[in-house]
């Protein structure tokens, strides 16, 4: 099983931010900062799990290679989007980059838009099987 590139890049970028953004290391670890770090780690872990469960069906552009319905995908149609959002929200809190909350709704909107585009492709390819899957899952 090949490790996805974001699984390596994301922690590296976070560490670089932590060590090289002036004043960030010196800030106290408040309850919100600790909660953010926990959200970030949990979101990242589940994002990597979802990406691995997707396997060869993963694509940057909407494609219908296979209908993945096992693991996290048995409950959530788009766990990668959901948990990337959880991870980003946690990073904003943990790194005290609160101004990014202004842009956060744009990220969520982009994920919703992409999910709808992907749903259309999957509906066209898998028909009733996909519609039945949608009824059993969230987002």
Question: Cβ(79)–Cβ(73) under 8 Å?
Answer: yes
How many domains, the chain?
1
- Within a domain: 125: yes
Domain for residue 105, yes or no?
yes
Provide the residue range defining the domain that includes 72.
30-55+66-136
Q: Does residue 2 form part of some domain? A: no
Q: Looking at the domain assignment, is residue 95 inside a domain?
A: yes
Instruction: Work out the angle between the directed axes of helices 128-136 and 104-126 (0-180°, nearest 10).
Output: 140
Estimate the share of the chain in helix, then strand, then coil, as percent rounded to the nearest 5: 70, 0, 25
Residue 48 counted as domain residue: yes
Residue 130 lies in a domain: yes
Q: Is residue 46 part of a domain?
A: yes
In a domain, 76, yes or no: yes
Q: How sure is the predictor about 15, in pLDDT bands with cuts at 50, 70 and 90?
A: confident
Q: pLDDT tens for residues 117-128?
A: 999 999 999 999
Q: Is the pLDDT of residue 115 over 80?
A: yes
Question: Over the stretch 96-108, which tens digit does the pLDDT of each residue have?
Answer: 889 999 999 999 9
pLDDT score recorded for residue 22: 83
Residue 78 binned pLDDT confidence (cut-offs 50, 70, 90) = very high
The pLDDT value given to residue 68: 95
Tens of pLDDT, residue by residue over 20-36, are 888 888 889 999 999 99
Decide: 121 and 64 in contact? Cβ < 8 Å.
yes
pTM of the model: 0.87
């Amino acid at each position: 099983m090949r490790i996805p590139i974001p699984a390596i890049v994301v922690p590296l970028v976070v560490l670089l931010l932590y060590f090289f953004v002036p004043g960030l290391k010196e800030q106290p670890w408040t309850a919100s900062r600790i909660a953010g770090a926990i959200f970030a780690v949990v979101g990242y872990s589940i994002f990597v799990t979802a990406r691995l469960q997707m396997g060869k069906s993963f694509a940057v552009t909407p494609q219908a290679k296979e209908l993945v319905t096992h693991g996290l995908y048995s409950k959530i149609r788009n766990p990668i989007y959901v948990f990337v959002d959880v991870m980003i929200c946690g990073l904003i809190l943990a790194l005290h980059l609160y101004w990014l909350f202004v842009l956060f709704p744009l990220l969520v909107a982009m994920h919703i838009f992409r999910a709808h585009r992907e749903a259309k492709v999957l509906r066209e390819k898998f028909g009733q099987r996909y519609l039945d899957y949608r009824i059993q899952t969230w987002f």
